[in-house]
Amino acid sequence: MEVQALQQYLQIPRKVVIIPHVKPDADALGSCLAWKIYLQKKGHIATVISPSEYPAFLKWMPQADSVLDLEFHPQTLIVETLQQAELLCFLDFNGINRMEQLSKLVSALTCKKMVADHHIGKEDNFDFEFWYVEAAATCEIIYDLIIALRDEHLIDTSIGECLYAGIMTDTGSFKYATTTSKIHRIVANLIEKGVNTEKIHRNIFDNNSLEKLKFLGYALHTKLVVNVPKQYAYFYITRQELLDFHTQVGDTEGLVNYALSIKGVSVAALFKEDKDGSIKISLRSIGDINVRNLSAKYFNGGGHKNAAGGKVEGKTLDEVRFLFENVVSEFVNP
């Protein structure tokens, strides 16, 4: 890892703003908070600004309550913090125009910029780039970065908990093919630094609201389409259903994995109507089936080979799911 330039830049105290992707997950928020805590230990002033709200099951993360969220904090405070920043760090995504409302506030800034990310298809150039598509998680990259900066001794329980959460969730609890022996070594090291893995697993996965479970039951019973001969399964969820079940941010997270867990299914999807009427798509696959390419071709999206997302405007939920039904075989049997 090439860190000299960054190391040089961080030799004097800097004002740093760290930004996760929209609707941050455990890897996005965990990498931001770990990097923030590390920079603070080095004498910098670091602030995490999120383009949107993060899910309630991440509120336990060290310093999560310090995150400025564009949906809920005064825009004047966020603009002021951004204008004072000397370094902007983009974590777990790689395109400056992918931050919804925050993109407008950031694109005019001329300060130094850094990226740390593992998603395919980097869209911008940055002064400091830590972009590794083979990494299992951005938290793995932040771990490697701190090691490369020769500061392993600064990784404490707080930083370790944030990094562990991102690695655990982005590897599907250590089951995806990205779970290398190196990942297990990193995690072993984090455990030795005091990370309580059982507590983190319970905080993230055993923290369901009754509404979320009832919604899951409804979705499994009524909103799941399965076609085993064509190897696909998907959920389709309307805005009204999300409102009727009082779902919270993050409550549909993981739903797509139930579709993928069905015997004989190799591609799974979740189609969901968003606030603005657009259709959000989550895709999962196993083996060589490339849902990143599927999403890029039909759903304006991207991501990884086996986990991708997309968004379609100007089409109905039914139009989008029927499109999926018609084109999915291109990718199942290319």
d(CA 89, CA 44): 13
Q: Are 296 and 320 in contact (CB under 8 A)?
A: no
Q: Report the C-alpha gap between 272 and 241 in whole angstroms.
A: 10
Where do we find the tokens 């603009």?
Answer: 79
Task: Name which of 26 and 102 has its Cβ closer to Mn ion.
Answer: 26
**Which two tokens mark 87?**
């370094």
Listing DSSP states for 17-82 in one string gives EEEE-SS--HHHHHHHHHHHHHHHHTT-EEEEEESS---GGGTTSTTGGG-EETTTS-HHHHHHHH
Residues within window 130-169 making contact with Mn ion, judged by CB under 5 A: 138
Report, in Å, the least distance between residue 183 CB and Mn ion: 13
Contact call for residue 253 and Mn ion (CB under 5 A):
no
| Minimum distance of Mn ion from residue 217's CB (angstroms) | 29
CB of 268 to Mn ion, least distance (A): 19
Contact pattern for Mn ion over residues 48 through 87, marking x by CB under 5 A: ----------------------------------------
Q: Which is nearer to Mn ion, 168 or 237 (CB)?
A: 168
Nearer Cβ to Mn ion (231/306):
306
Q: Is 92 in the site for Mn ion (CB under 5 A)?
A: yes
Q: How far is the CB of 80 from Mn ion (least distance, A)?
A: 29
Q: In angstroms, how far is the first alpha carbon of the chain from the final one?
A: 36
Residues 20-39 that bind Mn ion (CB under 5 A): 27
Q: What sign does the dihedral 260-262-267-270 (CA atoms) show? A: negative
Which of 140, 144, 161, 170 is in the footprint of Mn ion by CB under 5 A? 170
CB of 170 to Mn ion, least distance (A): 5
Cα 137 to Cα 117, 141, 164, 174: the distances in Å are: 8, 7, 10, 11
> Segment 259-288, which members bind Mn ion (CB under 5 A)?
none
The stretch near Mn ion (CB under 5 A) out of 35-43, 90-98, 205-213, 314-322 is 90-98
129 binds Mn ion (CB under 5 A): no
Minimum distance of Mn ion from residue 165's CB (angstroms): 11
- Minimal CB distance to Mn ion: which residue? 27
Q: How far is the CB of 192 from Mn ion (least distance, A)?
A: 24
Strand order in the sheet with 68-69: 68-69, 45-50, 15-20, 87-91, 112-117, 128-131
Residue numbers at the binding site for Mn ion (CB under 5 A)? 27, 92, 138, 170
